A and B are shown apart, each in its own frame.
Chain A
Amino acid sequence: MPDETIIAVLDCLIPGDATGWPAAGQHGLVPRLHELLELLSADGPAQLQTVLSHLPEDFLTLPTDQQTISLQTVESTAPDAFDTVLKACYSAYYTDPGIRRIIEQKTGYEARPPQPLGYEMEPFDESLLEPVRARGPIWRKVP
């Protein structure tokens, strides 16, 4: 199956929007999808083929809403295969450096791993517990 079909599938799964989120297929994630299908599942490549084999022959020429309906059908008829491909698609998208930069621009979440820098947090404010303390013990005593 040519990459064009896989690109179209990815674009249906994560279509992006006008606020600056790119569609997964157009963002060039097909090679990463293949890599992650191998990495994340023992039968990932076969599951992709299962999904593709369930698509109508004219999938590429269908309008987007019809492509989406086709994929919804695959989701119900081949749920395990669809699930594997969807997980790999999300994984490719949200670990992609370009997408992570977009997330950083939009949310301030830095495009870096959690360590070694970690994050700042406020110290715990004990004064919030005054009503809880004032109520007294609530645990059940035993004989």
Chain B
Amino acid sequence: MGAGATGLSFAWRLAKQRPDLKILVLERGGHIDQRQGPSLSDDWELALQREFHANPNIRRNSADYPVDETATPIKPAFFNAVGGSTIRWGAHFPRFRPSDFKVHSLDGVAADWPVSYKTLVPYMDINDSIMGVSGLAGDPGNPPRAERPHPPLGSCAGSLRLAKAANRLGWHWWPADAAINSTDAEPGRDGCNNCGPCGMGCPRHARASADIAYLARAQEAGVTLSTHNVVRKIITKGGAATGVETINSDGRTEEISCKELVLAGNAISTNILLTTMSNWENPLLGKGLMLHPTAIVTGFFAEDLKSYSGPFATSIISQEFYETDPKRKFLRGFQLQALRGQGPLSTALGGYGQRLNWGGGHASAFANAFGKSMSLTVTCEDLPEPENRIEVDTTRQDQFGMPIAKMCYRLGANTRQIRDYGVERASEWLRTAGAERLTVTPLSVQAGFHIMGTATMGSEARSSVTGHDGRVHGIDNLTVIDASVFVTASPVNPTSTLQALALRAADLMGRRLAQT
């Protein structure tokens, strides 16, 4: 269920391993023709407020379902279509570090993963080759790894300023890993031409998304895709999932039987669907919701940086403050990620940061901001706290007859300390780079992109919802491969790690089925 980052990669891998299996991918959304994407249109910036808005409650495309966001300061952000949220992403593609999988052993909080970094590396390498990744080997911030399929993306004046400033500060920095082809080397995909707004699809197919990278491969391997097909109930019998009830775009319901069921949506849809199962419950389901709370510090420079050019989210990063440092008041850490400027309308509306003031002075504020700003995100590692959770309200139903999920979230004390310290460091970096003025957005609201935890994997059934392979405790033929299985959050974007877990889960399932 779900034709996004994990669903399509999993289906491809399993089909390659086990061509004898019949694999059906059910996707509630339809295809997005990125070749005709809005970045080709004069009104391209309006799309970010409508059909490409990150928040499904605002976007309200036909496949979207409502999420109760009244109890969270960070609003949900995901996309329902073939390709999933990779349709809407900036394609920043870092890997979790080894320490992210051993948080309890190293820092005495949260839990260790039942999977190690080393186990996932071969799958990350496979995934890099299929998604298409640009970057540079040799980063001292991460373990040694293979050359990326493509060299790093280009540099703009703003990223050069930040790079030189980081050197003056003696801080780590590195060109961001990006799931964006920087060259024309891959047939069918052009190299990036630095247009900027990756988050609305890429007409050149330079920026990867799951549909571009995996769909054709999966279908060639025998996978069948059914679109506009909403799974609204898991049918169980005798401790096994026997099928699903779906509803299609005509409103027709259907039961589809299966031997194995894989949930590959997101933590919200997984929580909803697991709640529909009769005779199964786990008190830990829904608990330990983790987001990536993000502050944004924007620096305004006297120089015209033309910062609207270049992929907006994949310039350079600093992982200087990634690991726990006993000299600081908090555990774990954060990543600083440079964001480029945006188009004229997004500059005025503030993007993920602050809107320009209306009234007198608006014109000069625009003139001083447009093309002259660079931002730094302070992406904080969240700890899994039981108060942060997804609740499923079975008394309310959406247009598909599904229960409605509620995100219940507040920033924990450790996260707030990370954020505050990170804002100071981001400000220091931008000032060193020559920014004349700063604005601080303490918490980016429309930025709940990374919805992690709530069906956490673990070695023991009493302390987790799923096993190391994503299989749900108590339902042996039901597997979860979305980010709800994450044990900890790291301070970096999850998709590389997420897809590696999915590829591994496919291998494990293939082997298990061969033995039965």
Seen from chain A, the residues whose Cβ lies within 8 Å of a Cβ on chain B are: 12-17, 19, 21, 36, 39-40, 42, 68, 71, 86-87, 89-91, 93-95, 97, 99-100, 103, 106-109, 112-126, 128-129, 131-133, 135-143
A103 touches B370 (CB 8 A): yes
Max chain B Cβ within 10 angstroms of own Cβ: one of A100, A112, A113, A131: A113
* Chain B neighbourhood of A103, CB < 8 A: 344, 370
- Chain A min CB distance to B454 (Å): 25
What is the bound-complex CA distance between A68 and B370, given in angstroms? 25
Evaluate contact between A132 and B172: CB separation under 8 angstroms: yes
Number of residues of chain B lying within 8 A (CB) of chain A: 78
B492, chain A: closest CB distance, angstroms: 12
Asked if A119 and B196 make an inter-chain contact with CB atoms under 8 angstroms apart, the answer reads: yes
Give 8 pairs: A residue, B residue, CB < 8 Å, sorted on A. A40-B46, A87-B49, A113-B42, A117-B195, A123-B155, A124-B153, A128-B164, A129-B174
Check if A137 sits within 8 Å of B140, measured CB to CB. Answer: yes
Q: Does B515 contact A (CB under 8 A)?
A: no
B395 CB contacts on chain A under 8 angstroms: none
7 closest cross-chain pairs (CB), A and B? A118-B193, A121-B154, A119-B309, A114-B195, A21-B363, A94-B345, A124-B152
CB within 8 Å for A142 and B40 given contacts A118-B194, A124-B151: no
A139 touches B143 (CB 8 A): yes
Q: Is the CB–CB distance between B106 and A119 below 8 Å?
A: no
Task: Say if the beta carbon of B156 comes within 8 Å of chain A.
Answer: yes
Once the chains are docked, how many angstroms separate the CA of A21 from the CA of B364? 9
| Complex CA distance for A125 and B195, rounded to whole angstroms | 20
A89 to B345, CA, bound (A): 10
CA distance A36 to B345 in the complex (A): 13
Contact of A121 with B173 at beta-carbon distance under 8 Å, contacts A40-B46, A94-B348 already known? no
Q: In the docked arrangement, what's the CA distance between A99 and B344, Å?
A: 10
A143–B98 Cα distance when bound, in Å, is: 10
Closest Cβ neighbor of B366 among chain A residues: A21
Q: Is the CB of A140 within 8 A of B98?
A: yes
Chain B contacts for A139, CB-based, 8 A? 97-99, 140-143, 319, 322-323
Can you list, as one digit per residue, whether each of B136-152 has a CB less than 8 Å from chain A (1) or not (0)?
10101111000000011
Contact A90 B345 (CB under 8 A): yes
Assess whether B310 is interfacial by the CB under 8 Å rule: yes
